[in-house]
Amino acid sequence: MTTRVLEVRKVDAGYGATPVLWGVDVAIATGEMVALVGANGAGKSTLLAVISGLLRPTAGSVRVGDQETSTLRPERIVAFGVSHVPQGRQLFGGLSVEKNLLLGAYLRGDADLGFDLERVLRYFPALRDKLGRTAATLSGGEQQMVAIARGLMARPKLLLIDEPSLGLAPKVVDSLVAALREINATGVAILLVEQDVLVALEVCQRGYVLENGRVALTGTSTELLSDERLRRAYLGL
């Protein structure tokens, strides 16, 4: 039987008196890579914030494995196996690449950091000779690699990635997509928020389409790519 690493049920959420999400249901099985797509303002980043504990829902529940997490602080949710790679990377620009990566493991008390550092560098070999450089001196693509690698240092079961291709050249995006496929192949589930719907659905097995804070469509990537409504709204076809 397939186990679920994440189950979001009937979640409402917003900021102050401004509602953003209404009755959202999302489920991800262990080892799946799932796309979350939609127009700007649809609620994609808000949903990631709810899952990672940065924003508490006003209704509904979030479960990571068999643990209810909707009322937990973000660090507790990290400990349960969720890493959030935010939009805009949010690196510590004045710190070295290596220190940024090690900060991803700040909750861990084990002695395997060297092993994990080597592991993430295998996914992103372009960072290997840049460990001593400050993060602010890297290109946008290299910074995105650091952000994803930092998330991996927590040894997550589920990786939430928000708009990794934003502002990057197609060749760099292709490199990131290849790395995400490798990461997912090791059993790490990925929930990918991506403005480029075609990229998202080509790399993921399934997807959810958010419109105005609600799940408007869901299905396999093949099903969604053949849906006339999605093709007109997001692919211009």
Distance separating alpha carbons of residues 222 and 217, to the nearest angstrom: 13
Q: Name, in order, each residue with C-beta under 8 angstroms of 201's C-beta and a sequence gap of 6 or more.
A: 35, 37, 207, 221, 224, 225
Token readout for 141 is 């693509």
Query: Residue 110: what pLDDT?
Result: 66
Q: Nearest CA to 157 among 36, 65, 46, 47? A: 65
Query: The whole model's pTM is what?
Result: 0.93
Q: Nearest CA to 44 among 182, 152, 196, 187? A: 196
Distance separating alpha carbons of residues 188 and 55, to the nearest angstrom: 23
Distance separating alpha carbons of residues 146 and 148, to the nearest angstrom: 6
Vertex 92 angle, CA 88 and 94, to 5°: 130
Vertex 78 angle, CA 199 and 13, to 5°: 70
Query: Residue 25: what pLDDT?
Result: 98
Q: Nearest CA to 182 among 117, 119, 100? A: 119
For each of the domains in the chain, give its residue range(s) and CATH number, in order of start: 4-87+157-235 (3.40.50.300)
Indicate the burial class of 40 (C-beta count within 10 angstroms; 0-12, 13-18, 19 or more).
exposed
Backbone dihedral region for residue 203 (phi beyond 0: left; psi -120 to 50: alpha; all else: beta): alpha
Q: Strand, coil or helix: what is 115? A: helix
Query: Residue 81: what pLDDT?
Result: 94
Distance separating alpha carbons of residues 211 and 42, to the nearest angstrom: 5
Query: Residue 235: what pLDDT?
Result: 75
Neighbours of 11 (CB within 10 A): 23
Query: Residue 1: what pLDDT?
Result: 45
Q: In tens digits, what is the pLDDT along the chain, a chain of 237 residues?
A: 469 999 999 999 999 889 999 999 999 999 999 999 998 899 999 999 999 999 999 999 999 999 999 999 999 999 999 999 998 888 999 999 999 999 998 877 666 788 889 999 999 999 999 999 999 999 999 999 999 999 999 999 999 999 999 888 999 999 999 999 999 999 999 999 988 899 899 999 999 999 999 999 999 999 999 998 888 888 765
Q: What is the DSSP letter of 123?
A: H
Q: What is the DSSP letter of 93?
A: T
Query: Residue 2: what pLDDT?
Result: 63
**225 CB-side CA count, 13 A:** 15
Distance separating alpha carbons of residues 145 and 164, to the nearest angstrom: 9
